[in-house]
Amino acid sequence: MTDTTTPPAALCERTLATITTTLALEVVDDLALTSPMAPDPVGRLRVLRGGPIDKVVAVDLVVDPLGLDSHMLFAFTEPGSAVPHFTLDSVHAEYYAMHLDLIPRVDLGVHLEYLDAAFLPLTGLLEQAWQIDGVSAAAIGPRQRAMMSPWMVVCRATEEAFTALGDTVDGYLTHWLSLVDKGVPPVRSDTAMRDRINRAHLFSPEVDPVWAQVTRLLGPEQGERVRGELIA
């Protein structure tokens, strides 16, 4: 079982619990992830469905000998919806790290009213996050940034700073849940097609080098099982 008492695990589990309770989701798949590197399971893949969204995918990877404590959740809205997806990566390896964002469902440059409703309210939270002592920018290329939002928080942090970022996560989550509840301004876009393409790119091994590491840890079959839940 995953140790839920570490700061990354506790933050991810708390966030997942809020989403699950608020949106009345249920676990429909719960799979132990194994590795040729260790005799015991090294992780867990959970899929939750129900309520007004498509699904939540939660992935935990914990390998003490490698110093890896990684927890990710992705809450996907319905294919035809313009409400952004919510994502949180909560990690401790050599340092604490976080990736927090709402993933746009349309081109923000041509949907100003949508941008103002879905993302502008996050500006204060974003600015406050970067002012926390001990938070520093993480390395991520412009290619990956282009698939996310300008309000993305992707950073390294000290343990104290990581704990302080919990307020940022709560703020982003509260705003996202309000969008799920109230909706966003109408858009003229094929959100389902755009989403299929965007997610195929976002979770592509050619774009994100983390998938090479996941494949080494879990093997190609389980790595593709995890990736498949994220792209479909």
pTM beyond 0.85: yes
| Reduced 3-state DSSP string for the chain | CCCCCCHHHHHHHHHHHHHHHHHCCEEEEEEEEEECCEEEEEEEEEEEECCCCCEEEEEEEEEHHHCEEEEEEEEECCCCCCCCEEEEEEEECCCEEEEEEEECCCCHHHCHHHHHHHCHHHHHHHHHHHCCCCEEECCCCHHHHCCCCCCCEEEEECHHHHHHCHHHHHHHHHHHHHHHHHCCCCCCCCHHHHHHHHHHHHCCCCCCCHHHHHHHHHCHHHHHHHHHHHHC
Residues 6 or more apart from 99 whose CB is under 8 A from it?
A: 87, 88, 89, 138, 152, 153, 154
Proportion of the chain above pLDDT 70, given as a percent: 99
**What is the maximum span of the chain, computed from C-alpha positions, in angstroms?**
52
| 33: pLDDT strictly greater than 90 | yes
CB 149 within 8 A of CB 123: no
Read off the pLDDT of residues 74-105 as tens digits, 9 standing for 90 and up.
Answer: 999 999 999 999 999 999 998 999 999 999 99
| Residue-averaged pLDDT of the chain | 96
Mean pLDDT of 24-44: 94
The pLDDT, as a whole number, for residue 1 is 45
- Structural domains of the chain ordered from first start: 7-231 (3.40.1500.20)
Read off the pLDDT of residues 152-208 as tens digits, 9 standing for 90 and up.
Answer: 999 999 999 999 999 999 999 999 999 999 999 999 999 999 999 999 999 999 999
